[in-house]
Structure 1
Amino acid sequence: MMIHINLLPVRQEKKREVGRQFLVVVGGAMFITLLGNWLWYDGLASEEKKNAQRIVATEARIAELEKVIGEVDKINARKKDVQNKLAILADLRKQRSGPVRMLDALATAIPKKVWLTQFDEKSNAVKMIGKAASHEDVAEFMRALQSIVWTPRGMGRLIEQKRDAATARVELVGGEGAVEDFPTSAISNFFSRVDLKRAEQKAAAPGGTRTVDFEINMNSNYAI
């Protein structure tokens, strides 16, 4: 006699077990997916918050720098105003001292045997009429006018200035007549464009001395 065993309940139990395992696997996968998504979103939100904080801090820094720049602009404006006022004062000083220095330079440049009889000046243009003992004295006077300069150490005579040289050698007027080298940008000529308009030797009166009548035109520098 054969024994029949009913295996249906066993198969059904196995199916239920497989189903439970499948649900567990699917549930675990969904949980892991949801957890990963939450962590990603949380990290993104945290980074976005940090970026927002950085933006706020940057904007605050920009506002602070703009305030500082505004103060610097005000300081620069005041500085420029002061510089303009100082420049005006310097021009006024030059206008007062310029003619005095120019006449002093002219007196220094005149040789012993040269005499001025007329001196006219208008808008820095100078016309001089005078007498000299000889043509050589007139030439010496013109050379002296061209060489008399103003330096940081005062008035002097230009001795040597080579072409394209950065310095010039000057003999200072007064004292022991020291000779010094100055940057060419630091010296200024009192007179420029010295032009001899005429030089005529006149016959001497009986018992007198022959002289040369001359006329010199030039430009004077009052800005020294």
Structure 2
Amino acid sequence: MARINLLPWRETRKKEREKRYFTAMGLVAVLSIAAGVGVHMEMEKQSNFQSQRNQFLLQQIAALDLEIKAIKTLEVEKARLLNRMKVIQTLQKSRPEIVHLFEELVLTLPEGAQLLEISQKGPTINIEGVAESNSRISSFMRNMDKSVWLENPELVVIDANKPGYPNASWFSLKVQRSHP
């Protein structure tokens, strides 16, 4: 007699396949979640590391900015001191020149003329004085023109009627200081 298996083997097989399928799907889901969490943790770790590096770099940049500011302050101070040294050296160099200037003024000043005021602005010397006559002023200017320390005398004004100087000509002139 033929044996007939009445057990629903197709349904059992279908259930086993479904069970394996859902188990595989669950396993894939768990592995995907685990991989996602792992990737997220690694990205978070990399992000934290980069943040720490950025913070370190910002601190180093701030320190360098302070050093640059200090260097610029020192450069300004250096320029100021160098300028001051240059002025002092110029003054030291011109110290004997004033002696020569006064000596030349004494040597070029003719009899009958006297100086009232001498002022200097840069290389230009302004001279005010009185003389017995206009010829004394002309003689003074010719003598200055011959001098090695003075050049280009220029008469600004002669006033024969200036109050306080009777019988005298008050004069003002400019002359350039030269460097022989």
Instruction: Give the shorter-chain TM-score range.
Output: 0.5 to 0.7
Unpaired segments of 5 or more residues in structure 2? 121-125, 162-167
Q: Identity across aligned pairs (percent)?
A: 9
2:114 aligned with 1:118: yes
Unpaired segments of 5 or more residues in structure 1? 149-153, 159-190, 200-212
Equivalenced residues, count: 165
Match of 2:156 in 1: 194
Summarize the alignment of residues 1-224 of structure 1 with structure 2, pairs less than 5 Å apart.
5-64=5-64, 66-67=66-67, 69-71=69-71, 73-74=73-74, 76-81=76-81, 83-84=83-84, 86-88=86-88, 90-91=90-91, 94=94, 97-98=97-98, 100-101=100-101, 104=104, 116-121=112-117, 126-130=127-131, 131-133=133-135, 137=138, 141=141, 157=151, 194-198=156-160, 214-218=169-173
Q: Which has the higher helix share?
A: 2
1:64: Cα distance to partner?
4.3
Q: TM-score, normalised by structure 2?
A: 0.58
User: Which has the higher relative contact order, 1 or 2, with Cα contacts under 8 A spaced 6 or more apart?
Assistant: 1
Q: TM-score, normalised by structure 1?
A: 0.50
**Cα deviation code 1:7-40 (max 9, x no counterpart):** 5243133113212212202321331233033123
Inter-partner Cα distance in structure 1 for 2:157 and 2:44:
87
Inter-partner Cα distance in structure 2 for 1:193 and 1:50:
80
Q: Give the direction of change, closer, same or farther, for the CA distance of 1:126–1:39 in structure 2 (3 Å limit).
A: same
**Code of the aligned partner of 1:129:** V
Q: Which has the higher strand share?
A: 1
| Alignment RMSD | 4.7
**Cα deviation code 1:85-126 (max 9, x no counterpart):** 552464466466336326637867x8xxx7652211266663
